[in-house]
Chains A and B, each alone.
Chain A
């Protein structure tokens, strides 16, 4: 066997053993007894609520982080605002913190006896053990992606096109809408895809923050765990497969957008 084939074989074997076979097995086990049991376990009120809750959370967290991401990118790259370097380094924190610690940090501040949570709860707004808390946790963990994708692109394209638009009479808003935004659109798209993937799959922080009240604060990922702990393997696998399929859709999106980006930038 040539060294090339040996290397290839080893790599493929590693990937098969670590990734392909485990996921494939669950896919198989889930659909082993046909599609009916799968549909049954997913269409229970608990199951439906779980996926519904996940959708709501993602639908709120992703746009929030996208707007924040684009605005903050512009601030960091295009202005001389003091403290922007500090913001830049803080953005990476969610990557460095364990999800459980993230959950803990949010409970400490927004829990019923929390520093901010106390007064809010007196005013009737419950954050921890309720949907807003889950949204907050999801926002925390998926915060950096859009900023990290858009900033280098903003740096690379430089200010000349925007300056040119200015000399031609465009207002700052017109310049942003017609020149900057089209230029960063692929990067924003890619960032949104990454943010969505992270938001869909969040488990650790949400575990801590939600209280796992089934039918109320149980997201799709928590639902998977719940089914497993209840020895309902079919249910667990079924939900896992749905989430895995969503992940695959995200993967496909990632690869398509990534190829588009590279082509556009003439790589």
Chain B
């Protein structure tokens, strides 16, 4: 295991940022720390990097206990949310900083920087200053800078948070492809579940300083540990006492055993997907997600009475946070 965190606790005054956090990040893979804002993810990342010290607990990187080591001694690459560019240095000097601090010979630095600039597609922009770059370019520079010193582990704090939607999507794919070339163990923090699901091999869900669940994206989606994870990682709808995924509900025209009666309120046709909003017992709203081909034969319209049955229902534990 590349990163192992054991029982980490961190408190800022009254505020418990990390509450007995234990998780592992597998070697050579991308792990996401996912959770709502303020949930402790950034603190956890900073503790792993050495920028913060935990009150108790331990951090192991590649088997070595680094809990009390400074960031300088941990050999972690860190990319900050706003990239922390060295504004008075050009791109080349930024990227080469870690190498020049280690007093590597100049020709070696030069070659390495060129290689990295090409890797992140910033060749030819070496003489520009950070203020002259776009958000996406600055982010790629920050990545190159962190990778220059060949870190054991790469940590990214909300890497796409400061960018607009389209750039974000492009960079996501780009990062995944980059990781295939440079398969360093990567840990990134995000509050965007779509991002975590799309990018990561392994996801750790954090809320209010506690680990709610950890596993593969599909595992979290299909077998969430509790209500919180289920609601955070994908869409939910409530039918009776059960929390179900909208696409795990089936609509029937005829009543059948175990099915609940509901009235169709609204039918939204969104291309491939059809979303049906219904009302159960004249109070509880529910929504069902069907494919267009499934919906067609049903000829759904508002006011229609139908019957809902649950195709699949995850077994949820009592959630620590609702």
Residue numbers of A with Cβ under 8 A of B are 160-161, 163-171, 174, 178-179, 182-183, 266
Report the bound CA distance from A163 to B87 in whole Å: 14
Q: Which parts of B80-120 form the interface with A (CB within 8 Å)? A: 80, 82, 84-88, 97-98, 101-102
- The residue that A167 contacts in the complex, of B77, B82, B85, B102, with Cβ under 8 A, is B77
- The residue that A168 contacts in the complex, of B70, B85, B87, B145, with Cβ under 8 A, is B145
Given A167-B71, A169-B72, A178-B97, 12 more A-B residue pairs with CB atoms under 8 Å apart are: A160-B80, A163-B80, A164-B84, A164-B86, A167-B146, A168-B148, A169-B102, A169-B149, A170-B72, A170-B97, A170-B101, A182-B88
24 A-B residue pairings within 8 Å (CB atoms):
A160-B80, A160-B82, A160-B84, A163-B71, A163-B78, A164-B78, A164-B80, A165-B101, A166-B70, A166-B71, A167-B50, A167-B51, A167-B71, A167-B72, A167-B78, A168-B97, A168-B149, A169-B72, A169-B75, A170-B101, A171-B72, A174-B101, A178-B97, A266-B131
A residues near B84, Cβ cutoff 8 Å: 160-161, 163-164
- The residue that B86 contacts in the complex, of A161, A166, A167, A266, with Cβ under 8 A, is A161
A residues near B32, Cβ cutoff 8 Å: none
Q: Contact residue range for chain B?
A: 20 to 34
B101 touches A169 (CB 8 A): yes
B residues near A166, Cβ cutoff 8 Å: 51, 70-72
| Closest beta carbon of chain B to A218's beta carbon, Å | 44
Report the bound CA distance from A174 to B70 in whole Å: 15
A residues near B80, Cβ cutoff 8 Å: 160, 163-164
A179 touches B86 (CB 8 A): yes
Q: Which parts of B110-152 form the interface with A (CB within 8 Å)? A: 131, 145-146, 148-149
B88 touches A183 (CB 8 A): yes
B residues near A178, Cβ cutoff 8 Å: 97, 101
- The residue that B49 contacts in the complex, of A167, A169, A179, A266, with Cβ under 8 A, is A167
Report the bound CA distance from A88 to B97 in whole Å: 34
- The residue that B87 contacts in the complex, of A169, A171, A174, A183, with Cβ under 8 A, is A183
User: Which 6 A-B residue pairings sit nearest by Cβ, starting from the closest?
Assistant: A168-B98, A160-B84, A164-B84, A167-B78, A166-B71, A182-B88
B residues near A171, Cβ cutoff 8 Å: 72, 101
Is residue B76 contacting chain A, with contact meaning CB distance below 8 A?
Answer: yes
A residues near B131, Cβ cutoff 8 Å: 266
Report the bound CA distance from A179 to B72 in whole Å: 15
Instruction: Bits for B46-88, please: 1 = Cβ < 8 Å to A, else 0.
Output: 0001110000000000000000001110011110101011111
A265: nearest residue on chain B (CB-CB)? B87
Residue numbers of B with Cβ under 8 A of A are 49-51, 70-72, 75-78, 80, 82, 84-88, 97-98, 101-102, 131, 145-146, 148-149
Report the bound CA distance from A168 to B87 in whole Å: 16
Report the bound CA distance from A266 to B149 in whole Å: 32
Report the bound CA distance from A210 to B145 in whole Å: 57
| Closest beta carbon of chain B to A106's beta carbon, Å | 40
A residues near B98, Cβ cutoff 8 Å: 168-170
| Closest beta carbon of chain A to B147's beta carbon, Å | 11
Report the bound CA distance from A169 to B80 in whole Å: 16
A164: nearest residue on chain B (CB-CB)? B84
B residues near A179, Cβ cutoff 8 Å: 86
A174: nearest residue on chain B (CB-CB)? B101
B101 touches A168 (CB 8 A): yes
B residues near A182, Cβ cutoff 8 Å: 88
| Closest beta carbon of chain B to A205's beta carbon, Å | 38
| Closest beta carbon of chain B to A148's beta carbon, Å | 22
A residues near B76, Cβ cutoff 8 Å: 167
B residues near A174, Cβ cutoff 8 Å: 101
| Closest beta carbon of chain A to B78's beta carbon, Å | 4
Report the bound CA distance from A82 to B318 in whole Å: 45
B residues near A170, Cβ cutoff 8 Å: 72, 97-98, 101
Report the bound CA distance from A183 to B85 in whole Å: 12
| Closest beta carbon of chain A to B9's beta carbon, Å | 20
B157: nearest residue on chain A (CB-CB)? A160
A residues near B145, Cβ cutoff 8 Å: 164, 168
| Closest beta carbon of chain A to B142's beta carbon, Å | 8
B151: nearest residue on chain A (CB-CB)? A167
Give the one of B80, B84, B149 with max A CB within 10 A. Answer: B84
